[in-house]
Structure 1
Amino acid sequence: MLSPVSVRRAGVSLTLCCTLLVGATACNDDDKDSAATPTGSSSAEKQKFAKTRFVANAGLAAGATYQWIVKPFRAGKFKSGADGRRFALIKAGLAGAFTYNRLKAATKNAQGDPTLAKAVAPLSAGIDALKDLPSKLRKGEGTDSIVNSFDGIINDVKGAGSSAGAEVKDKVPSAGELAKG
């Protein structure tokens, strides 16, 4: 017959062994990368998600460019002496920074899809050229060429997306999203 003390010792021993086994398994570095990196079910899903993220980011960039840069420019809001010029230029500068940010994200997303990556790769230099333009736009310097640069790059990105089967439609971000970048 087993005494209560021997049953207690067996229980403690079993608990201790299980704890050590679980602890040793959790500390193993061999599976560190596979546990930290979630993977999709297939490469087709990864490509589909890459295109979807590309379309979303490029659409936000296109919407911001049209709503706060191209449209006010065509309405004459950037001309010297125009009513609300300063506020329009500040919003355009914010929209320019937002557009640059979203286009960089869209370029990164395009890398997940081989066809899209090939279509967008030639546009990287043009997107990088937009980096300093938002500050110039806020100051009101050379607005004609700046607006044309933004509009041209957006149209090129839309064309590249369409050629790769990822049609980009304008999606105007809210003023809050614009301010967040």
Structure 2
Amino acid sequence: MPSSVPIRRLFVALTLCCALLVGTTACGGGGGTRAEGGTEKMAAAVAEAAPSPSTSVERQKLAKTRFVANAGLAAGAAYQWIIKPAKAGKFKKGAKGRRFAMVKAGLAGAFTYNRLKAAARNAQGDPTLAKAVAPLTAGIESLKDLPSKLRKGQSGDATAGIFDDVINQVKDAGKDAGANVVDKVPSTKQLTGG
């Protein structure tokens, strides 16, 4: 125990030194105060470090990447907590764990709707992808009220079928535009927004 105390103090001292060094460097040598523009220098340093697409090709590539990420999360959540349990009969009356499955499906439905809306917004950054996804906006919008139906235990199998259809349409549109969507199951933390 006694030998760990100096190590902890050394670690704390090094951490503080590094924090001061980074702060001083980011503010341009520490000569500026807030009144003299030290905060602006720090903001400028952060802005320089953040990558931003500068050409239309880079913006289109970034739009496709974001579309694939959001659509993949939507597809993964819908499959894991809506489509798969529906196929397993978890939404049928009398099924063991039905209530819990319906609550998870409701959360997944809201998450899926949110991520599909984000994917549709992302698609606007790429002309080919925007053209492919444009006809699907009504289908995506139709998912808006379905999560509450799932939570209440209303028409679980039919609702799962609607989610499956919309997800497959989004995947097909992405594939046609050169943005292949792969299911990515989100963590429970992502699903609940925590």
What's the TM-score, normalizing by structure 2?
0.73
1:156 to 165, 169, 175: 169
Aligned to 2:101: 88
Q: Distance in 1 between matches of 2:106 and 2:52?
A: 38
**Cα offset for 1:144?**
2.1
Q: Distance in 2 between matches of 1:152 and 1:141?
A: 18
Considering only aligned residues, what root-mean-square deviation do their CA atoms show, in Å? Answer: 1.8
Aligned to 1:14: none
2:124 to 98, 111, 136: 111
The answer on whether the counterparts of 2:91 and 2:157 sit within 8 Å (CA) in structure 1 is no
Q: Distance in 1 between matches of 2:70 and 2:126?
A: 15
**Cα offset for 1:41?**
1.9
Query: After the TM superposition, which residues 1-181 of structure 1 pair with which residues of structure 2 at under 5 Å, given as runs?
Result: 40-180=53-193
Amino acid of the structure 2 residue aligned with 1:51 = K
Amino acid of the structure 2 residue aligned with 1:86 = R
**Cα offset for 1:168?**
0.1
* Runs (5+) with no aligned partner, structure 1: 1-21, 27-37
Q: CA-to-partner distance for each residue in 1:8-35, whole Å, 9 max, x for gaps? A: xxxxxxxxxxxxxx99xx9xxxxxxxxx
Higher relative contact order (CA 8 A, sep 6+): 1
Q: Distance in 2 between matches of 1:135 and 1:67?
A: 18
Q: Distance in 1 between matches of 2:60 and 2:70?
A: 15
Aligned to 2:29: none
**Cα offset for 1:143?**
1.4
Q: Distance in 2 between matches of 1:78 and 1:175?
A: 20
Q: Distance in 2 between matches of 1:142 and 1:39?
A: 45
Amino acid of the structure 2 residue aligned with 1:163 = D
**Cα offset for 1:130?**
0.3
Q: Percent identity?
A: 71
* Runs (5+) with no aligned partner, structure 2: 1-35, 41-50
**Cα offset for 1:39?**
5.4
Amino acid of the structure 1 residue aligned with 2:139 = G
What's the TM-score, normalizing by structure 1?
0.78
